Structure 1
């Protein structure tokens, strides 16, 4: 039996059913969702409307959620049940092959005057995940649903775990008031099914240039101080192996973008040596190489138990190309940040913004 939605007016002990009105709702739903995708009950950022596929079709709406999952939103309009479900899956097969850069290009064609990273940060409060389009969700939007569509979608969703669902809306009028009601065919929860293809996971990431690295420099004013790092040429991390482990990934010759959490990007430089314990790092001075710990440091890089390498502070020597004080840190919505001490910096948006702010493009 096809799913039906009802609305009643409660007047004392009497219930009067309000009949839905036929106002050509399906022709308006695309505009409703584009202007406020929250009416679907999930936070989405629409990245394209009437997106042309490589096979001659047009996806009504394409959107992403905060996890980077891409949502294909297809309106039923006058399509037959077989056509609408087949079309949603066909579009989904095309979308699944899109790379990170492809999704950003679709956004740029849709909203050319706002960077995707900024729009994502405004919608979800943080930078886009590195894995963008690692999974997809297919949603059929309809003003009504028929038994055949219900049967097909339930078969795919509940029987085979394919993340396809139907959200349908009905329009009601009562005493001059107008209402839009929504329900889902299958109990709704955001589905994020990861592809089993290792190649797909790599493709869903923004390409890495093989050179640039992000480094989180935790300047808390006491145990670690950015002015020390600038004056003596290093980045450091420690306290637990989880922090120092990724620091050791910095390769000699790599370019490192230093970021102070909560402030922003403060320096770009070139790695000149491998990671060593902080108390074993020598730096060049006018009198030749000397232990870093013998110099007047503003921070205290020792801690109880740091005789254990996993607890100790570790440092990597860096030749700075450009630095700014902590108070002059560069930050913009959508810039990359990471919980690890060091990570590959793939996000072109961050690299471009920092390079421009530091004048690196002029060198």
Structure 2
């Protein structure tokens, strides 16, 4: 279904702003290069006009905190349906790239654009707050087509790939409006981008999953607090659907290993209940030290979601396990398939004297 954009200037009488056509795809590319949040706040741009081994150029390459690579193809006008095949072709090349190749792609991009962070590691840590995990880089990928309009055939193809083949491909529609000398850019996603990210997380990863769940329990002043979690038996995530969506992978009986980014591993436990919003979990008799967004006040998308946990072992933040070689990831909950995850679980069992 075609997406139509409209902007009205508020006054005595609403005034419709005139839509205009961009002069070139390079202008759109330039705007996104300067601010990738036009597409997503959760992406780091790592490459522009990336030359492939078969003589074609990928418009833009980005990465998210999980290491998923995003292939971005830009079209300033209505897209021909072969743009999907072209983007998939690019993805087939990206899939086989090594982490060293992405380091080089970013180094070239940083040098050409005068970026303050000259290395991939520096840029990743500056954006996401943690160092990249080599085994997770390019563990999955997403494809995004950016265009003014999709033809009906292209839209059907994208829907089919998502629904039937679980391929992480999406489209972003944009429009440009004029108000005097000023130009405004608007954009709208064809499919909720969270759904595309979930497909990327759940497919295309290397190795076998060992059945153990990883939890990133980010703490902050006046917010999420590990002492609360340790006392009342829970893990939680929130502040936006990108952060909270993965907790819904958990079900009673699952085992979770909890890491506080930048601090270390603090506990392991078994899930004892289904995910629920903060309003349902927090009761009047709980004396919480941290603060947690309630759906009643912040809405369901930005609320904190809790998963009840029976702790098998827990330690204070001062006794957290933080060693070289342990797995780390920004996903609130993950099913890691990296060899480093097997090592992490084995090592924590040794340190915490867990027999199984």
Q: TM-score, normalised by structure 2?
A: 0.53
RMSD (Å) for aligned C-alpha atoms: 3.3
CA offset at residue 141 of structure 1? Answer: 1.1
User: Does 1:20 find its partner at 2:24?
Assistant: no
Q: Structure 1: which 5+ residue stretches go unaligned?
A: 202-241, 244-260, 263-309, 314-338, 348-363
Cα distance, 1:198–1:37 mapped onto 2, change above 3 Å: closer
Equivalent in the alignment of 1:164:
169
Which structure 2 segments of 5+ residues have no match?
A: 112-116, 210-255, 264-311, 329-356
Distance 1:154 1:344, change over 3 A: same
TM-aligned CA distance change 1:197 to 1:127, over 3 Å:
closer
Within 5 A, what are the aligned runs for 1:258-269? none
Q: Name 2:139's counterpart in structure 1.
A: 134
Q: How do 1:105-120 residues align onto structure 2 when only pairs under 5 Å count?
A: 105-112=104-111, 114-120=118-124
Q: What are the within-5 Å matches in structure 2 for residues 173-188 of structure 1?
A: 173-188=178-193
Question: 176-185 vs 83-92, which deviates more?
Answer: 176-185
Q: How far, CA to CA, are the matches of 1:45 and 1:10 in structure 2?
A: 35
Instruction: Quickly say closer, same or farther: Cα 1:197–1:26, change in 2 above 3 A.
Output: closer
- Greater C-alpha radius of gyration: 1
User: Judging changes above 3 Å, is the alpha-carbon distance between structure 1 residues 75 and 23 closer, same or farther for their aligned structure 2 residues?
Assistant: closer
Residue 118 of structure 1 deviates from its aligned partner by 0.7
- Counterpart for residue 154 of structure 1: 159
* Residues 1:71 and 1:196: Cα distance change in structure 2 (over 3 Å): closer
For residues 176 and 80 of structure 1, what CA distance do their matches in structure 2 show?
28
State the alpha-carbon separation in 2 of the partners of residues 135 and 125 from structure 1: 20
Give the alignment partner of residue 145 of structure 1, picking from 147, 150, 158. 150
* Contact 1:73–1:139 (8 Å) recurs in 2: yes
| Structure 1 residues 4 and 26: alpha-carbon distance in aligned structure 2, compared to 1, 3 A threshold | farther
Question: Which consecutive aligned stretches of 4+ in structure 1 deviate over 4 angstroms post-superposition?
Answer: 77-80
Pairwise mapping of residues 1-363 of structure 1 onto structure 2 (< 5 A)? 1-12=1-12, 14-24=13-23, 26-77=25-76, 81-112=80-111, 114-130=118-134, 131-189=136-194, 191=197, 192-195=200-203, 198-199=206-207, 340-344=321-325
Paired with 1:159 and 1:81, the residues of 2 have a C-alpha distance of: 22
Measure, in 2, the Cα distance between the counterparts of 1:171 and 1:196.
Answer: 36
Are the aligned partners of 2:65 and 2:128 in contact in 1 as well (CA < 8 Å)? Answer: yes
Q: Is the 8 A contact 1:25 1:171 kept in 2?
A: no
Task: Figure out how many residues of one structure are paired with residues of the other and give that number.
Answer: 218
| CA deviations over 1:142-169 (Å, ceiling 9, x no partner) | 1333322222212212333211111121
Task: Report the alpha carbon displacement of residue 137 of structure 1 after superposing the two structures with TM.
Answer: 0.7
Q: Deviations over 1:220-279 (max 9, x none)?
A: xxxxxxxxxxxxxxxxxxxxxx99xxxxxxxxxxxxxxxxx77xxxxxxxxxxxxxxxxx
Query: What residue is the counterpart of 2:239 in the other structure?
Result: none
Offset from partner CA, 1:157-214 (integer Å, 9 cap, x none): 233321111112111012443211111112222513344564599xxxxxxxxxxxxx
CA distance in 1, matches of 2:92, 2:17: 40
